[in-house]
Amino acid sequence: MVSSSIYIPILAFTSLVALQSPAAPKKGGNPEAAKIKNPVAATAESIAAGKRAYQRLCVKCHGPEGKGDGSAATGAVPPDLTDAQSDYGSSDGDLFAVIHDGTSPDMEGYAGRLNDTEMWNIVNYVKTLRQR
């Protein structure tokens, strides 16, 4: 009895998060994506988790500091993530949309492999790479 009641709030939380479907990434930024609020606070834990995921999944193309100097990019050169401007918009929601959906054909989306929280952690980390 006690153990099953523990799962109810967890399930409710998970389905709420799953309902959030981001707008597709668009060149110039998608106003719908910009409206998506980042639900994950940029705590040290979130940024550290995002960094681990970035190193596992993104470094090969975007490079260790996000300068676009990874070696695995095929086709288009990965953009510099350290400037505040992005072809796909610079809001948290735009970053999330790119990570979620990818930018066909140059970058695959991660929606099938990462959950939303993991992708927001990456958003929080990628923003720390910006130097302005």
- The reply on whether position 42 binds ligand HEC by CB under 6 A is no
Backbone angles phi, psi at 26, to 5 degrees: -140, 145
Nearer to ligand HEC, 36 or 107 (CB): 107
- Note if the bond before 105 is cis, omega within 30 degrees: yes
Contact residues for 24 (Cβ-Cβ < 8 A; gap 6+): 30, 33, 97, 101
Min dist CB 53 to ligand HEC, Å, is 6
Radius of gyration of the chain (CA): 16
Label residue 86 exposed, middle or buried (CB < 10 Å: 0-12, 13-18, 19+). Answer: buried
69 binds ligand HEC (CB under 6 A): no
Question: What is the nearest approach in angstroms of ligand HEC to the Cβ of residue 44?
Answer: 19
Residues 6-25 that bind ligand HEC (CB under 6 A): none
Stretch that binds ligand HEC, among 3-11, 29-37, 38-46, 55-63 (CB under 6 A): 55-63
Beta-carbon contacts of 112 under 8 Å, excluding residues fewer than 6 positions away, are none
Q: Per CB under 6 A, does 62 bind ligand HEC?
A: yes
Tell me which residue of 117, 12, 103, 122 sits closest to 56, measured CA to CA.
122
Site map (CB under 6 A) of ligand HEC, residues 91-130, x = contact: ----x--xx---x--xx--x-----------x---x----
Residue ranges in contact with ligand HEC by CB under 6 A: 54, 57-58, 60-62, 72-73, 76, 78-79, 81, 86-88, 95, 98-99, 103, 106-107, 110, 122, 126
